[in-house]
Amino acid sequence: MRTRDVNKENLIQEKAIEMIVKQGLDGFSMQKLAKAANVSPATLYIYYKDRDDLITQLATSVSNRLMETSLKGMHPKMSFADGLELQWKNRMEFFFKYPLDVEFIEQIRYMPTYDSVRDNIRKNFGDVLGKFVHNAINRGELQPLPFEVYWSMAFAPLYQLIKFHAQGNSPANASFRITDDMVKQTLELVIKALKP
Amino acid sequence: MRTRDVNKENLIQEKAIEMIVKQGLDGFSMQKLAKAANVSPATLYIYYKDRDDLITQLATSVSNRLMETSLKGMHPKMSFADGLELQWKNRMEFFFKYPLDVEFIEQIRYMPTYDSVRDNIRKNFGDVLGKFVHNAINRGELQPLPFEVYWSMAFAPLYQLIKFHAQGNSPANASFRITDDMVKQTLELVIKALKP
DNA sequence: TGCATAAGTGAATGAATATTCATTTATATT
DNA sequence: AATATAAATGAATATTCATTCACTTATGCA
């Protein structure tokens, strides 16, 4: 039996993400991807059922890696400030290591395709995060809030900063770059907001 | 001289937004749009130079309407809490009135296409918002912060809530709906964070 | 060594794509 | 009413698209 070429598999994923980030989902095609990855179009259909499946699998894989990184070193009993700081640090680390991956997720996050990915995240990581938040509330380190309110305060500002950086552009500044100080400052504001 | 059919023009815009929101940018085509709007494909090229121009013009128009709504009743000397609350209220009003428009913008916000739209926003509304923030800082009602940090705290949580609502889905809840209380609560957290 | 089997291919197919063009239609002005 | 002119059209074009299929290639195992 012939063996699967793992390098080829990785190259396909890499090029697909690169293409989608740089040209958008509608500038992305199976034939262009095949050419970019030095592979026959038919090969793509060995790895993926169809175009939609390719995108979903890609999103699932990247999301899982991002969530795993974000929860590295987390345990549900951590203090709220420490736990949130750790998650921010982990996410920033991931962003600087794999900026295209983050942009890729941001780009497909609001598409119908992403629904199943979200379910997957909830299933795999909802437990740890749910417990962390629950414990923090019980210890009085975090206001009791609807989860959505919590999530919107806890992470949306970070992602907005990342977006500004990724597009090198903000409402006030046409060549914006994120700094560690900025992230730290924003995190402090978030913690201030969420503490009782 | 034959006169331009304004209803037709509006219908085209409406259908285009509807299609892009429901099927994504890559499920959107000129021919499908023409059919949906009961128009010849060639007619679209009277209104728009090409596909890209159509999308950019659409985004610019919607963004301007959103920003106009968001600044309704604003004057730069307003107290910080009042001004931010007014902008949140205005944005929510717009969202409930034109949910598709907001989803449309969220969907193309992270694409290369959107760059010129962002420039346009900065040019048209940067002044009012800049002055509002500046005054609030001078009066000691707002921490002096890099504009990007301010913006990330001031609006990203609201948009995250809106996204949860629009997709009827959140990390914790598979059938999420926003409530006025939630928005109010989140706004209070934001103001708490941003006050000195 | 050679066989079984999955990996990988290149060319082909039919459908869908963006855009154009010669033509027709409606109306504001004369 | 006649005319000028921009709006609007339907059919056509060349291109690109996702997907398939008959075929070749590489390799684990017998």
**Confidence category of residue B196, pLDDT binned at 50, 70, 90:** very high
pLDDT at residue number B17: 97
pLDDT at residue number B142: 97
More confidently predicted of A105 and A167: A105
For the cut 90, the answer to whether the pLDDT of residue A110 exceeds it is no
Cα dist. A116→A50, A52, A119, A123, B169 in Å?
Answer: 16, 12, 5, 11, 11
**Confidence category of residue B44, pLDDT binned at 50, 70, 90:** very high
**Confidence category of residue A166, pLDDT binned at 50, 70, 90:** confident
**The CATH number fitting domain B1-47, selected from 3.40.50.880, 1.10.10.60, 1.10.287.10, 3.40.50.300:** 1.10.10.60
Q: Which nucleotides of D are covered by protein (CB under 7 A)?
A: 4-12, 16-22, 25-28
Q: Of B17-21, B141-145, B167-171, where does mean pLDDT reach its minimum?
A: B167-171
d(CA B80, CA B139): 9
What is the arithmetic mean of pLDDT over A12-38?
Answer: 95
Q: What percentage of chain A carries pLDDT values higher than 70?
A: 99
CB contact under 8 A, B192 and A190: no
For the cut 80, the answer to whether the pLDDT of residue A170 exceeds it is no
pLDDT at residue number A158: 98
**The CATH number fitting domain A60-194, selected from 1.10.357.10, 2.40.10.340, 1.10.260.40, 3.10.180.10:** 1.10.357.10
Across the interface, of B26, B122, B171, the residue whose CB is closest to A26 is: B26
For the cut 80, the answer to whether the pLDDT of residue A85 exceeds it is yes
For the cut 90, the answer to whether the pLDDT of residue A109 exceeds it is no
C-alpha angle B165/B180/B126, rounded to 5°?
A: 75
- pLDDT tens for each residue of B168-191: 777 777 788 999 999 999 999 999
d(CA B44, CA B136): 46
- Shortest distance between the Cα of A138 and any Cα of chain B, in A, equals 18
Q: Assign 3-class secondary structure to B118-145.
A: HHHHHHHHHHHHHHHHHHHHHCCCCCCC
**Chain A residue with Cα closest to B130:** A172
B167 touches chain A (CB under 8 A): yes
A116 touches chain B (CB under 8 A): no
Name residues whose C-beta falls within 8 Å of residue A53's C-beta, 6 or more positions apart in sequence: none
Name residues whose C-beta falls within 8 Å of residue A38's C-beta, 6 or more positions apart in sequence: A11
**Confidence category of residue B65, pLDDT binned at 50, 70, 90:** very high
The average confidence (pLDDT) of chain A is 94
CB contact under 8 A, A172 and B110: no
Helices A147-154, B156-167: inter-axial angle, 10-degree rounding = 140
d(CA A146, CA B184): 12
What is the arithmetic mean of pLDDT over A139-163?
Answer: 96
What six digits make up the tokens of B46?
């009277």
Across the interface, of B23, B103, B110, the residue whose CB is closest to A107 is: B110
CB-strand contact A31/D, under 7 Å: yes
pLDDT at residue number B117: 92
What is the arithmetic mean of pLDDT over B8-35?
Answer: 95
**Confidence category of residue A115, pLDDT binned at 50, 70, 90:** confident
Interface A-B: count of C-beta contacts within 8 A: 155
Domain boundaries along the sequence of chain B = 1-47, 60-194
Q: Note the CA–C1' distance, B25 to C10, in angstroms.
A: 31
